[in-house]
Structure 1
Amino acid sequence: MRHLSGRDAEDRAAAYLEAKGFRILERNYHSRFGEIDIIAEDGRYIVFAEVKGRTPSAYACPAEAVTPAKQRKIIYTALMYLQARPTDLQPRFDVIGILAGEPEPLLEHLENAFSGGGYG
Protein backbone atom coordinates (compact mmCIF):
# COMPACT_ATOMS: atom_id res chain seq x y z
CA MET A 1 0.00 0.00 0.00
CA ARG A 2 1.82 3.05 -1.23
CA HIS A 3 -0.96 5.60 -0.71
CA LEU A 4 -3.22 5.98 2.32
CA SER A 5 -6.10 8.43 2.02
CA GLY A 6 -7.06 10.54 5.01
CA ARG A 7 -10.43 8.80 5.18
CA ASP A 8 -8.81 5.35 5.07
CA ALA A 9 -6.37 6.34 7.83
CA GLU A 10 -9.25 7.61 10.01
CA ASP A 11 -11.27 4.43 9.35
CA ARG A 12 -8.30 2.28 10.37
CA ALA A 13 -7.70 4.40 13.49
CA ALA A 14 -11.37 4.19 14.52
CA ALA A 15 -11.40 0.40 14.03
CA TYR A 16 -8.19 0.11 16.07
CA LEU A 17 -9.66 2.17 18.93
CA GLU A 18 -12.91 0.18 18.92
CA ALA A 19 -10.92 -3.08 19.03
CA LYS A 20 -9.12 -1.71 22.11
CA GLY A 21 -12.48 -1.07 23.81
CA PHE A 22 -12.87 2.66 23.09
CA ARG A 23 -16.37 3.94 22.35
CA ILE A 24 -16.39 6.31 19.37
CA LEU A 25 -18.49 9.39 20.18
CA GLU A 26 -17.82 11.57 17.11
CA ARG A 27 -15.82 11.57 13.92
CA ASN A 28 -14.73 14.70 12.08
CA TYR A 29 -16.11 17.10 14.67
CA HIS A 30 -15.88 20.70 13.43
CA SER A 31 -15.81 24.01 15.24
CA ARG A 32 -14.85 27.47 14.07
CA PHE A 33 -11.30 26.67 15.24
CA GLY A 34 -10.80 23.44 13.33
CA GLU A 35 -11.56 19.75 13.29
CA ILE A 36 -10.97 16.76 15.53
CA ASP A 37 -10.70 13.48 13.65
CA ILE A 38 -12.00 11.16 16.38
CA ILE A 39 -13.58 11.78 19.78
CA ALA A 40 -13.86 8.65 21.89
CA GLU A 41 -14.45 7.46 25.42
CA ASP A 42 -11.82 5.29 27.10
CA GLY A 43 -12.70 4.47 30.68
CA ARG A 44 -12.31 7.69 32.64
CA TYR A 45 -11.05 9.67 29.63
CA ILE A 46 -12.64 11.53 26.77
CA VAL A 47 -10.06 11.21 24.03
CA PHE A 48 -9.56 13.78 21.29
CA ALA A 49 -7.53 11.95 18.66
CA GLU A 50 -5.70 13.42 15.69
CA VAL A 51 -5.01 10.92 12.92
CA LYS A 52 -2.00 11.40 10.65
CA GLY A 53 -1.23 9.13 7.72
CA ARG A 54 2.10 9.11 5.90
CA THR A 55 3.92 7.24 3.18
CA PRO A 56 7.24 5.53 3.96
CA SER A 57 9.10 8.25 2.05
CA ALA A 58 7.66 11.06 4.21
CA TYR A 59 10.28 13.24 5.90
CA ALA A 60 8.67 13.27 9.37
CA CYS A 61 6.84 10.62 11.32
CA PRO A 62 3.07 11.16 11.45
CA ALA A 63 3.01 12.42 15.05
CA GLU A 64 5.60 15.11 14.26
CA ALA A 65 3.09 16.62 11.82
CA VAL A 66 0.92 17.71 14.77
CA THR A 67 2.55 21.10 15.20
CA PRO A 68 1.99 23.43 18.19
CA ALA A 69 -0.39 25.47 16.00
CA LYS A 70 -2.39 22.32 15.14
CA GLN A 71 -2.40 21.35 18.82
CA ARG A 72 -3.93 24.74 19.73
CA LYS A 73 -6.67 24.27 17.12
CA ILE A 74 -7.45 20.82 18.49
CA ILE A 75 -7.51 22.12 22.08
CA TYR A 76 -9.84 25.02 21.21
CA THR A 77 -12.11 22.66 19.26
CA ALA A 78 -12.13 20.26 22.21
CA LEU A 79 -13.15 23.13 24.48
CA MET A 80 -16.05 23.93 22.15
CA TYR A 81 -17.10 20.28 22.20
CA LEU A 82 -16.95 20.12 26.00
CA GLN A 83 -18.94 23.34 26.37
CA ALA A 84 -21.71 21.83 24.25
CA ARG A 85 -21.44 18.37 25.86
CA PRO A 86 -20.29 18.64 29.49
CA THR A 87 -18.78 15.47 30.95
CA ASP A 88 -17.04 14.28 34.08
CA LEU A 89 -14.47 12.45 31.96
CA GLN A 90 -10.88 13.66 31.96
CA PRO A 91 -9.81 15.08 28.56
CA ARG A 92 -6.84 13.48 26.85
CA PHE A 93 -5.19 14.32 23.53
CA ASP A 94 -3.88 11.37 21.51
CA VAL A 95 -2.18 11.13 18.14
CA ILE A 96 -2.58 8.08 15.94
CA GLY A 97 0.03 7.82 13.23
CA ILE A 98 -0.46 5.45 10.34
CA LEU A 99 2.44 4.72 8.04
CA ALA A 100 1.44 3.17 4.72
CA GLY A 101 3.31 -0.07 4.21
CA GLU A 102 3.23 -3.56 2.75
CA PRO A 103 1.39 -5.77 3.40
CA GLU A 104 -0.42 -3.68 6.03
CA PRO A 105 -0.02 -0.12 7.31
CA LEU A 106 1.79 0.33 10.61
CA LEU A 107 -0.16 2.09 13.34
CA GLU A 108 1.33 4.01 16.28
CA HIS A 109 -0.94 5.27 19.06
CA LEU A 110 0.53 7.96 21.28
CA GLU A 111 -1.65 8.46 24.34
CA ASN A 112 -1.54 11.88 26.02
CA ALA A 113 0.59 13.12 23.12
CA PHE A 114 0.22 16.75 24.14
CA SER A 115 -1.20 18.70 27.02
CA GLY A 116 -4.42 20.68 26.96
CA GLY A 117 -2.98 23.14 29.48
CA GLY A 118 -1.85 26.66 28.70
CA TYR A 119 -4.56 27.34 26.15
CA GLY A 120 -5.76 30.55 27.70
Structure 2
Amino acid sequence: MAMNNKKHIGNHGEDLVADRLKREGFSIEARNYAKQYGEIDIIASKPDLIAFVEVKNRFNPLFDMTELIPRSKQRKLIAVAKAFLAHYHTAQVTCRFDVALVTQSKEITYIENAFTQE
Protein backbone atom coordinates (compact mmCIF):
# COMPACT_ATOMS: atom_id res chain seq x y z
CA MET A 1 0.00 0.00 0.00
CA ALA A 2 1.45 3.37 -1.00
CA MET A 3 2.34 5.70 1.87
CA ASN A 4 -0.05 8.46 0.72
CA ASN A 5 -2.93 5.97 0.52
CA LYS A 6 -2.08 4.55 3.95
CA LYS A 7 -1.96 8.08 5.42
CA HIS A 8 -5.29 8.93 3.77
CA ILE A 9 -6.91 5.79 5.23
CA GLY A 10 -5.44 6.61 8.64
CA ASN A 11 -6.71 10.18 8.52
CA HIS A 12 -10.17 9.00 7.47
CA GLY A 13 -10.31 6.56 10.39
CA GLU A 14 -9.24 9.32 12.77
CA ASP A 15 -11.92 11.63 11.33
CA LEU A 16 -14.60 9.00 12.00
CA VAL A 17 -13.44 8.51 15.58
CA ALA A 18 -13.14 12.27 16.23
CA ASP A 19 -16.70 12.77 14.94
CA ARG A 20 -17.97 10.02 17.25
CA LEU A 21 -16.19 11.54 20.24
CA LYS A 22 -17.72 14.96 19.50
CA ARG A 23 -21.19 13.40 19.31
CA GLU A 24 -20.50 11.89 22.75
CA GLY A 25 -19.77 15.33 24.20
CA PHE A 26 -15.98 15.39 23.96
CA SER A 27 -13.95 18.35 22.74
CA ILE A 28 -11.02 17.50 20.51
CA GLU A 29 -7.94 19.01 22.16
CA ALA A 30 -5.41 17.79 19.59
CA ARG A 31 -4.95 15.50 16.62
CA ASN A 32 -1.65 13.80 15.88
CA TYR A 33 0.03 15.34 18.93
CA ALA A 34 3.67 14.41 18.48
CA LYS A 35 6.89 14.46 20.42
CA GLN A 36 10.19 13.06 19.20
CA TYR A 37 9.44 9.76 20.95
CA GLY A 38 5.85 9.18 19.80
CA GLU A 39 2.48 10.47 18.68
CA ILE A 40 -1.09 10.29 19.97
CA ASP A 41 -3.77 10.20 17.28
CA ILE A 42 -6.52 12.03 19.18
CA ILE A 43 -6.64 13.81 22.52
CA ALA A 44 -10.23 14.42 23.58
CA SER A 45 -11.63 15.94 26.75
CA LYS A 46 -14.67 16.48 28.90
CA PRO A 47 -14.56 18.75 31.97
CA ASP A 48 -13.00 16.15 34.28
CA LEU A 49 -11.59 13.62 31.79
CA ILE A 50 -8.94 13.43 29.10
CA ALA A 51 -8.92 10.49 26.69
CA PHE A 52 -5.74 9.72 24.79
CA VAL A 53 -6.94 7.74 21.78
CA GLU A 54 -4.95 5.45 19.50
CA VAL A 55 -6.81 4.75 16.24
CA LYS A 56 -6.20 1.50 14.38
CA ASN A 57 -7.60 0.73 10.96
CA ARG A 58 -8.31 -2.99 10.67
CA PHE A 59 -9.11 -4.76 7.43
CA ASN A 60 -8.59 -8.29 8.74
CA PRO A 61 -11.31 -9.30 11.19
CA LEU A 62 -9.08 -12.08 12.57
CA PHE A 63 -6.54 -10.00 14.47
CA ASP A 64 -5.29 -10.69 17.95
CA MET A 65 -6.62 -8.11 20.41
CA THR A 66 -3.64 -8.67 22.71
CA GLU A 67 -1.32 -7.45 19.96
CA LEU A 68 -3.17 -4.18 19.38
CA ILE A 69 -0.80 -1.92 21.27
CA PRO A 70 2.47 -3.59 22.24
CA ARG A 71 3.86 -2.58 25.64
CA SER A 72 6.71 -0.65 23.96
CA LYS A 73 4.15 1.49 22.08
CA GLN A 74 2.12 1.93 25.28
CA ARG A 75 5.18 3.36 27.03
CA LYS A 76 5.66 5.86 24.19
CA LEU A 77 2.00 6.91 24.30
CA ILE A 78 2.18 7.35 28.07
CA ALA A 79 5.30 9.53 27.73
CA VAL A 80 3.62 11.71 25.08
CA ALA A 81 0.49 12.00 27.26
CA LYS A 82 2.60 13.13 30.22
CA ALA A 83 4.27 15.76 28.04
CA PHE A 84 0.86 17.00 26.87
CA LEU A 85 -0.44 17.20 30.43
CA ALA A 86 2.67 19.01 31.66
CA HIS A 87 2.33 21.61 28.94
CA TYR A 88 -1.44 22.13 28.73
CA HIS A 89 -3.14 21.00 31.94
CA THR A 90 -2.44 22.12 35.47
CA ALA A 91 -5.71 20.92 37.02
CA GLN A 92 -6.16 17.37 38.22
CA VAL A 93 -8.14 15.36 35.70
CA THR A 94 -8.81 11.70 35.16
CA CYS A 95 -6.88 10.33 32.20
CA ARG A 96 -7.44 7.18 30.24
CA PHE A 97 -5.88 5.46 27.25
CA ASP A 98 -8.44 4.29 24.70
CA VAL A 99 -8.15 2.38 21.44
CA ALA A 100 -10.54 2.79 18.52
CA LEU A 101 -10.64 0.09 15.85
CA VAL A 102 -12.04 1.20 12.51
CA THR A 103 -13.03 -1.42 9.94
CA GLN A 104 -13.14 -1.08 6.19
CA SER A 105 -16.93 -0.77 6.46
CA LYS A 106 -16.43 2.22 8.82
CA GLU A 107 -17.57 0.39 11.94
CA ILE A 108 -15.86 1.58 15.12
CA THR A 109 -15.07 -0.64 18.07
CA TYR A 110 -14.12 1.69 20.91
CA ILE A 111 -12.21 0.29 23.89
CA GLU A 112 -12.08 2.58 26.92
CA ASN A 113 -9.13 2.09 29.28
CA ALA A 114 -7.45 -0.25 26.80
CA PHE A 115 -4.29 0.01 28.90
CA THR A 116 -3.06 1.84 31.97
CA GLN A 117 0.13 3.58 33.05
CA GLU A 118 1.22 0.68 35.27
TM, length-normalised to structure 2 = 0.84
CA distance in 2, matches of 1:44, 1:114: 19
RMSD: 2.0
Distance 1:99 1:113, change over 3 A: same
Residue 66 of structure 1: aligned partner: 69
Q: Which runs of 4+ in 1 moved over 6 A?
A: none
Percent of aligned positions with the same letter in both sequences?
A: 36
Alpha-carbon deviation of 1:42? 2.8
Alpha-carbon deviation of 1:64? 3.6
Tell me, which stretches of 5 or more residues in structure 2 are unaligned? 1-5
Residue 94 of structure 1: aligned partner: 98
CA distance in 1, matches of 2:56, 2:66: 7
CA distance in 1, matches of 2:21, 2:66: 17
CA distance in 2, matches of 1:53, 1:62: 13
User: What is the number of residues matched between the two proteins?
Assistant: 111
Tell me, which stretches of 5 or more residues in structure 1 are unaligned? none
Alpha-carbon deviation of 1:40? 0.7
Alpha-carbon deviation of 1:69? 1.1
Residue 44 of structure 1: aligned partner: 48
The structure showing larger relative contact order (alpha-carbon pairs under 8 Å, at least 6 residues apart) is 1
Residue 31 of structure 1: aligned partner: 35
Residue 76 of structure 1: aligned partner: 79
Per the alignment, in what secondary structure is the counterpart of residue 75 of structure 1? helix
Residue 5 of structure 1: aligned partner: 9
User: Which structure dedicates a bigger proportion of its chain to helix?
Assistant: 2
User: Which structure dedicates a bigger proportion of its chain to strand?
Assistant: 2
Letter paired with 1:23: S
Residues 53-79 of structure 1 show CA distances to partners (whole Å, capped at 9, x for unaligned) of 111x36415774211111111000001
Would you say the 8 A contact 1:34–1:73 is kept in 2? yes
